[in-house]
Structure 1
């Protein structure tokens, strides 16, 4: 039996490499990466062998097959004759729709709750406290089921719909609103809107620069609001209203035409928003409380009002504390949208990870797609929030 031994020079080289701190860290990282890669390689290899043993193979060809099921809410053209890939795209759009609208509403409610928790008004403070403690200590699934039950059981049937200005109709089957049919001249209004947005962003930076240099304050909000909303609105009427609106009409037992916002979407959107807002409220309260009170006193000594102090002094400093935990709440909201299947909202879990999986029997492929999509969503949210966090961080000289 022969033994392979390292010569003395080789042992000295290995010893020097291992004793060097930076080299040792690189070696450990390489070994750890190799171990993780080997672990997943073995799992995937065993899965492939087990699938072959029962006559299955890994293939994405099922995505081109007809889906053979309907989806109640779709922002793109879809029917039961569409492919599973088309169904997956509908699920992705529906998931993004809930995530984006949920993040916006949760942020607004959360910041209001955070400010109310610091209010000197006893009633406002305690109401915000009760809301936060109740909502965040009840599972989000129960909130979803509760809100969905309230909407479905409390809203009237289509024949007794709540009519809003004879153009919108609120029922337990959805909120029916007019749908736009864009005419050729509408591109002028759209182009003007884009120009107004870009101009408003430039003016906001210009106003901030002037304020930093001279202390002069421009009414940025109202000027930008007038540019983004007022100017396109005036041009819209000057061009003769280049949009034709299709009004929903009651035909049979339900409304036809126009756009419909399904109760499942409304319930999921509201439930996720009010649940996540409770956590955001506490994050905002903690961030504002972390700002030294001397900042408020200094602003008051300069004659700055409480509202302006909060907007110009406290919030900008608190954001540096708020943003990192706020990112986690945004990620939680996006991932909690997977509970949509409990009320029949067709997101990616219900479409490609639910019905398509059951019809095709492609468990590994469907779950891999769903996992990858949620990973992409989470990475996009994290990247955006990390960029914003770096943008507002303190610059040390």
Structure 2
């Protein structure tokens, strides 16, 4: 392999210590200590949760746009989403409709709404975006996405033809849906959803019974919401099921974010994808890997959860498809059975031994990471693991 080397850095954050961007900077310094003329490409990473919009803006050279919207209880707030260029946008629904916006005593899924998320989408459409990605997670609402769709022009009507507000308590009251204004809003826009939660809309693992307790619903309130969600699903199937031939109830991920996954699939014809897969597509990761000699990924802890929609698993899989060696620097490795993703890695470099992990390791996370990065590139310099 001839110099100059080309290295790609795509690590998750080490929660509470190092950001994805910081790991890329530290890796670049270590690489250039060994290969002064190497090319380094750092790609800030996230898995679809909090920080996804910011990471994608950094990776794609876009910008964060602030918008006046409404929080889950209808109060005015300022929220941001990402404009990525090429008429693309990424929206974290938690920015406008997340639980972190409410005090614990304010959580009431009968009264909360995802309307603010729809306002962010509406603004992106007004900016000319025709490719919109919505990251689900952390919702304060259990409204089946009604609030979000209302902000996009959908009218939910009760048995008397009166328009409903689109909060959780309205689920059972929906009898028909007016889409005439909605179609003017969305046009031919392509939508996709980052949705690592594969829960169904209904049932013990569904939007309500599986998650409503964390949103403030217990006992009879949860049962009321579940009955309402079942009635709402009937209406969605009546409106959309005939054309697609698939019930909204049966789509994995339809229960994500209090049923917003179902609304995105039904109203927006959105693809429900895993978070990291969507991010790798948005940053055009395969193109970045095309001329790479080595990719370095990683996360704070390599354990049994690493293979479930996480940054490291997605990056390793992409490298395996392209035949690019992939090494992971991780904070620590859990003892016991590890996920299959480990088999696709060229090597794993822990920053600490498991027995040494603890508060002291967290306090010295950067120093430990630098040592691991230097060890890695010392091995690269003598051709270990890269086929040199």
TM-score, normalising length from structure 2? 0.23
Of structures 1 and 2, the one with the larger relative CO (CA 8 A, separation 6+) is: 1
**Which structure shows the higher helix fraction?**
1
Whichever structure has more strand as a proportion of its residues is 2
Larger radius of gyration: 1
